[in-house]
Structure 1
């Protein structure tokens, strides 16, 4: 049994990102332990680049917010899932703050070996996911992580547009088949 940490970047309750993520989680929970971290429900400030975490023995950040709790949730995860709506060709700002705060050497204590990407967009432009895919591929390469898989769904603008979409079954199967 693996521990899966899911970073959900959508602030829209019951939105397309959440529905896609729920399908993945339903499959993953059949064999694994899943922790969901909703970026919109935690208070995480953006990284200020002070690098105090590099000189602190316990890699504590000088900012006092919910990131310490998130570090502890990610520390024991075998896999991390990035789930996000596309906001102007990137992950949501709430999720970006969490990702940027992983610029902390505490990440070297994480045991994560695998990364997944789930992303939705209202736009149907074929390049809408390109910058997120580049970030994802860069993280895989830099940290020598296994690519668990990615599901991207364009053209889902309004809440519930994804209902009935093949991507929901794909996400369920992706979660169910985590090795």
Structure 2
């Protein structure tokens, strides 16, 4: 299986990236092909909502998303990795996900598998509720 791991932590040595590293190690040991997209350190601009992409064409912004588009659409599984920031995903990962506007139909047609990896300081049982709800909405869409 081809797996694309979308890392959203600005801290390259943080807890969520340690989770990603362990996932990647296990996936490689199981024979899967891995591609990592480091959204936090990539040249990515926020979606402007201009819809020039027509929801399926290339984005008018010239940044790393064109390469990421190819890597995402070649994958069989997408893994979202983020620290929990104020009960949600990092802004860096959200910028990448917002840019899915230009490839959403292609992603939907693939019926990709997905997973969410996250780390937080708070240990309350409800800590991940908002992030989990957002993730479930994204993968249902």
1:110-139 Cα shifts (integer Å, max 9, x gaps): 435201000101122332211111111112
How many residues end up aligned between the 2 structures? 138
Higher helix proportion: 2
**What does residue 9 of structure 1 align with?**
8
TM-score in terms of structure 1 length: 0.72
Q: Bigger CA drift: 30-39 or 122-131?
A: 122-131
Runs of at least 4 residues of structure 1 off by over 3 A? Answer: none
Q: Distance in 2 between matches of 1:42 and 1:112?
A: 26
2:52 is matched with: 52
Q: 1: CA distance between counterparts of 2:5 and 2:111?
A: 12
Aligned to 1:136: 135
* TM-score (structure 2 length as normaliser): 0.91
Matches within 5 A, 1:43-82: 43-54=43-54, 59-82=57-80
Match of 1:166 in 2: none
Structure 1 match to 2:105: 108
CA contact (8 A) 1:76 1:112 kept: no
Structure 1 vs Structure 2 CA RMSD: 1.5
Structure 1 equivalent of residue 121 of structure 2: 122
Unaligned segments of structure 1, at least 5 residues: 143-179
**CA radius of gyration, larger in:** 1
Contact kept, 8 Å, 1:85 with 1:121, in 2: the verdict is yes
